[in-house]
Amino acid sequence: MTTGPAFPAGFTWGSATASYQVEGSVDADGRTPSIWDVFSATPGKVVGGDTGEVADDHYRRFREDVALMQRLGLQAYRFSVAWPRITPAVTPEALGPVEQRGLDFYSALVDELLAAGIEPAVTLYHWDLPQALEDAGGWADRRTAERFAEYAEVVAGALGDRVKTFITLNEPWCSAYLGYAAGVHAPGRTEPAAALAAVHHLNLAHGLGSRAVRRAAPEARVALTLNLAWVRPEDESSPADVDAARRIDGLQNRVFLGPVLRGEYPADVLEDTAGVTDWAFVRDGDLDVVHQPLDALGLNYYSPTVVRSVTSPRATEARPGADGHGAGAASPWVGSAELVQFVDLPGPRTAMDWAIDPRGMTELLLRLRDEAPGVPLMVTENGAAYPDEVEQGPDGEPRVHDADRTAYLHAHVSAVHDAVQQGADVRAYFVWSLLDNFEWAYGYSKRFGVVHVDYGTQRRTPKDSALWYSRLAAGNALPPL
């Protein structure tokens, strides 16, 4: 069998999940509600009224899931810690007591992984904020960032003897804008000024959290995961379209990269949003805190973004909800909602209705090569939802022939390879997701797993894409389709 291009020796092939999406057991061992428990229990917020109450039952089946990863030859597992399991009585003023049973769960998961030869990569915040903090203002309130750092120190202290990678936040763009402006994610608020306060407090949480992890686990790598957008103007020769792209690049990419990599907010973003807020929540010294050394930067990439100005001759009826995570009535694009349109790209799409263009992956990795020189890169998520069909194999066992997902992964892994060839220091790739799971506002209606989950029986069935991915991991080179 011929194989395609090889990756550098030591490249890591992993898979990813997030606590609320897979764990279930939401009342177990002292856990209190997160914003996603409350949001998903609110009628009309999640497709089908689905919640994470049971999800993949990973909280109780993690040993089986680790064994499955081991059989597939996966080398790393990126999972997140549910904050409300660790400090269930947190208030804006104080972290409250640590729930040992919560820590014990993650500790057992880490031990199980290490025993299976799988490297753990821990995300400290993948969106399940304790509801008590939201009730007091959530990410729009500075104290949430302060409590986050204390919580991060507890987790790093408990796991840092074995975990070598801690990711402070997953996709703060989604937490801030989808949660506080578009309202399509928890906590479901539609308050543009609060969304920008959330942007800053998430940046601050990353900075304070990085310091806290370093204190508690000096040997560990500290990283941040961003969902950067590959934004292009529909008409490159139109100054108005180019300006629309600048605005979206500012809100999605530079408002995080600026403070994190350089200790400054981009002046044009402050200007674009001046009608929404004066940014008075940024206090003296904050930007130095946000601007911490990074041991790695994580990129999540799914889909390209093309924009035009509303003044473009091609402008159509505005699509304010074009955010990739559910079209709400309110726009996530604070300060630019009325000025920018998102262009429907021709060509194939995934079940999320996301356009497919792997070049964005290469472009973004090259951008990080240039903007964050010396910082190792990881693809912390990439994958696709498709309407999988379970068939019966010749042996009577279930099979999922998800050729579309395999093709998607093949094209995107090739795009990572292109970036590596051009000098991007990419060290790892994590497929989203190990398992079909609770896809936020879409509930269980969208399946991203390389392993199929039968939600009635909790049976796991590796799809064809998992078998392909397993060959990729084994050979460290692209297998044929």
Three-state secondary structure call for residue 272 = helix
Residues 366-425 binding ligand FCB (CB under 6 A) are 381
- Residue closer to ligand FCB by CB (options 333, 432) is 432
Say how far apart CA 412 and CA 365 lie, in whole Å: 12
Shortest gap between Cβ of 446 and ligand FCB (angstroms)?
8
Shortest gap between Cβ of 310 and ligand FCB (angstroms)?
26
- Residue closer to ligand FCB by CB (options 177, 468) is 177
Say how far apart CA 103 and CA 26 lie, in whole Å: 15
82 binds ligand FCB (CB under 6 A): no
Say how far apart CA 21 and CA 123 lie, in whole Å: 13
- Residue closer to ligand FCB by CB (options 217, 441) is 441
Say how far apart CA 383 and CA 103 lie, in whole Å: 29
Shortest gap between Cβ of 267 and ligand FCB (angstroms)?
28
Which one of 134, 171, 234, 439 is the catalytic residue? 171
The yes-or-no answer on residue 381 being catalytic is yes
* Residues near 103 by beta carbon (within 8 Å), at least 6 away in sequence: 86, 154, 155, 158, 159
Say how far apart CA 191 and CA 193 lie, in whole Å: 6
- Residue closer to ligand FCB by CB (options 18, 81) is 18
The yes-or-no answer on residue 171 being catalytic is yes
- Residue closer to ligand FCB by CB (options 175, 277) is 175
- Residue closer to ligand FCB by CB (options 282, 451) is 451
Q: According to CB under 6 A, which one of 300, 303, 341, 470 is a site residue for ligand FCB?
A: 300
- Residue closer to ligand FCB by CB (options 58, 246) is 58
Shortest gap between Cβ of 256 and ligand FCB (angstroms)?
14
Q: According to CB under 6 A, which one of 34, 123, 227, 253 is a site residue for ligand FCB?
A: 227
Tokens 């490249």 sit at which residue?
11
Cα separations in angstroms, 299 against 261, 320, 361, 430: 14, 25, 9, 10
50 binds ligand FCB (CB under 6 A): no
Convert residues 243-282 into a mask of x (bound to ligand FCB by CB under 6 A) and - (unbound): ----------------------------------------
Three-state secondary structure call for residue 439 = coil
Q: How are beta strands 459-462 and 451-454 bridged, if at all? A: antiparallel
Shortest gap between Cβ of 300 and ligand FCB (angstroms)?
6
Residues 142-171 binding ligand FCB (CB under 6 A) are 170-171
442 binds ligand FCB (CB under 6 A): no
Three-state secondary structure call for residue 50 = coil
Cα separations in angstroms, 62 against 51, 373, 432: 20, 37, 17
20 binds ligand FCB (CB under 6 A): no
Task: Pick the closest to residue 198 from 169, 231, 227 (CA basis).
Answer: 169
What are the helix (H) ranges across 295-438? 359-371, 403-421
465 binds ligand FCB (CB under 6 A): no
Task: Pick the closest to residue 79 from 65, 100, 95, 93 (CA basis).
Answer: 65
Q: According to CB under 6 A, which one of 440, 444, 468, 469 is a site residue for ligand FCB?
A: 440
Tokens 């399940």 sit at which residue?
128
Shortest gap between Cβ of 432 and ligand FCB (angstroms)?
5
Rg (CA), the chain: 21
* Residues near 478 by beta carbon (within 8 Å), at least 6 away in sequence: 3, 4, 5, 410, 413, 414, 417, 472
Q: According to CB under 6 A, which one of 174, 343, 377, 434 is a site residue for ligand FCB?
A: 174
- Residue closer to ligand FCB by CB (options 174, 176) is 174
Shortest gap between Cβ of 381 and ligand FCB (angstroms)?
6
Tokens 């030591």 sit at which residue?
10
* Residues near 10 by beta carbon (within 8 Å), at least 6 away in sequence: 427
18 binds ligand FCB (CB under 6 A): yes
448 binds ligand FCB (CB under 6 A): yes
339 binds ligand FCB (CB under 6 A): no
* Total binding residues toward ligand FCB, as defined by CB under 6 A: 12
118 binds ligand FCB (CB under 6 A): no
Shortest gap between Cβ of 357 and ligand FCB (angstroms)?
16
- Residue closer to ligand FCB by CB (options 160, 298) is 298
- Number of other residues whose CB lies within 10 A of the CB of residue 448: 26
* Residues near 218 by beta carbon (within 8 Å), at least 6 away in sequence: none
Q: According to CB under 6 A, which one of 79, 432, 468, 469 is a site residue for ligand FCB?
A: 432
User: Which are the catalytic amino acids?
Assistant: 171, 381
* Residue ranges binding ligand FCB (CB under 6 A): 18, 21, 170-171, 174, 227, 300, 381, 432, 439-440, 448
